[in-house]
Structure 1
């Protein structure tokens, strides 16, 4: 068949059309299929419209009990997805109850009929072999031969209906041939891919494959050259044949365009026939592909034959065993089926194991689902052999005393360094400006400075300076607002300058005037000459 290229992705219109398939795969598919059968069973349902009450009555006759509201919801769903449409016919009601019951009527759409026909075909399909309609090859050749006897003069005198019948018959036979060939090779692929064919199945399949498939390939090989040559003689007449076949009385669509007719009555349908028997466009014919697939099937059959011959003394498939086991399950009572399951697969009922929780303060509740509960740490011996006993000597307890002593020593050294820094800071009596501090004392000063600002809301105010105690001493840091002044500190990491701030250290409870006098000896030692 001719293959037409499709753009990548799905157009929005195509996605809307595919919505019509949803009813066959959702949770209420049984109900939807039963409702659609009320509209598609026989030809009488195609031109009729039905209300929800009528559909409910017919469903109850088929053994499906649904209330009117549920059926109304199902019908609205089918309308939404394009399978049904609301009927424009007015409802005749003798009472308000009749009007409420029959106010909405539904009818089948063209898309809904096509989709449900495919659904019914799929539901009725069986996984069995179907013969190839090879007898259609002779009919196709005869039909093309009849058409090839025409010339342009005889085409103009031919009956349009008879000509359309001859063309439609050729393409109906061609469509049946292609469809049956696809079904046969799909079944063939399903069987050849099985690795567990036993000897009896192989013998039956070999006979069918070797005999039947070879006859079909011979039929295709015999008719293919004749059909290709006959098509070549008909090809120049195809436009004239289609034009004459369409010259009779035609059905017009609602928009005035000519309705679509059967396959073959348009010149665009003929290349698919030519491609199947003669190829074209740089591709081989589908008839040649049929013969190549037959050769591949023969090779697969020989591969299965070699496998069966080489595995005469050993197991080569569990298909028969599994089918036999499934039969036992089908005929067993519930208790026997559970025992058979445990024996065949070794899957015994689950056992809840108890372990000490990793976090005794937050244990997992026994009602917690296993899906959301944290994974339990199962000991290796229990996981592998199911034994809880511990084998071998227990490992020696690790001695962490040395590490603990080292951490305690580090902590004591850190505390001594901090105490020395705080003592250095407390020794700065009076105004702090132009002094040099160690790095540790500078860090402690910034910590006290931050605590002082936090207590006062961020900055000193007109009500008074801000103060904060220096830890491990009887002194405190005082911060005063001093516009235009700067307090400068020096240290190993650089120069620190406080703008519009006056910093001083005084004893707790000491007045600010007492601490603003002459600097102490420690202050004189730490002051840097020339600093501003």
Structure 2
């Protein structure tokens, strides 16, 4: 609408009609001030009203609004009054007669108003504030949140072990757990998005980026270390609490009953079932974030992998910046320099020559002519408007005239039989699958055994054992005596438990040598279905 919309009636009632009806065209008039010439002034004026409402001030006069604007860029009161009138026309503000300062009869005939926020104007400001916050949010990797989640899970484990857990304590613990987990997940997502934008920087100042890079890499390494240790501990606690129908089920039911007790009368019928379903979904989401299952890695493992991949990407950006600072040329710099040459070329003919020299893309050449024809064309070049029947002739190869091609066509190459190669690849794949299956069967302990009792291992089994042992040691926390880890594909699980008493040394013999280390109790379980090939 035009900004000269004075005198129009503004309503803030919601549009009538149910779902499916088109909204009225004036429903979003409260956002019209964003695309006008004085948008910055309108936003500043609305900011004054928002701050005044937070301080419990409802009505403002033009002088009050002017005093609330920044002092270094404060417009005259006439401009503020005009802005207030426009915002009133758009439905952001409501104007009421100002009778508080009337002292004479002639004051009633003067145009005086006080202004306040409308419901639609307040909703528009809330939406714009949320939009600005979302754009400016950078996110962070919260290592403290991992410690808080561990603490809350331990508290839940204690409550689950009681015969009659306190409903209030269970509900508050679950609410705190969900709040910390939601903040961790949302901040991690925002941080990884902002990190990718940082990696994609091409025009950053070299010194600033290099200083920021070092702090960022240290930050990532510290969080990865915390995620490895805390993540394994959290996954173990979640396994002890189980699925929504496991040990944690009574606590989830208590939280759902407390929430259902506060439901409105018209929603009390299905409030308990809805609350139980909501809490079950939250718990499943928490488990999926930290616990891997066969065929699906946890979100914590994916986040750890993405954070690790960001480090070499940052280093590659640093190398590119160093190359640029050292004077080396990259493709993007070449294209920018070429674009500058195109812009500085005096005529189109020069630009065409530059194009052909840079890219080597010429018009199609279907004919090959001899030197005599070239000499005649250079002596008397035909113009672009010369009809083809008046242009000088071209001497072509007799073979081109007879066959339409310069190439001599011979017999087509025989189709090569690759059956033997395919059979060899199938045999090799079957052999490797058999070796893997044998290694898995060799390592499965069917109970706890000492490392020193595993006996001699062949190279395939020993290599697989080192991978399992590395996963267990990476997930182990210094304060725990036992740790459980699963391979990336979720098919093998290892449980490593420290032996009581003085430390002993285990020796594993292989054809390549002897592997020595502290002796532990180890239990290796094959999680793959019977007869499956990983």
- TM exceeding 0.5: no
**TM-score relative to the length of structure 1:** 0.45
**TM-score relative to the length of structure 2:** 0.45
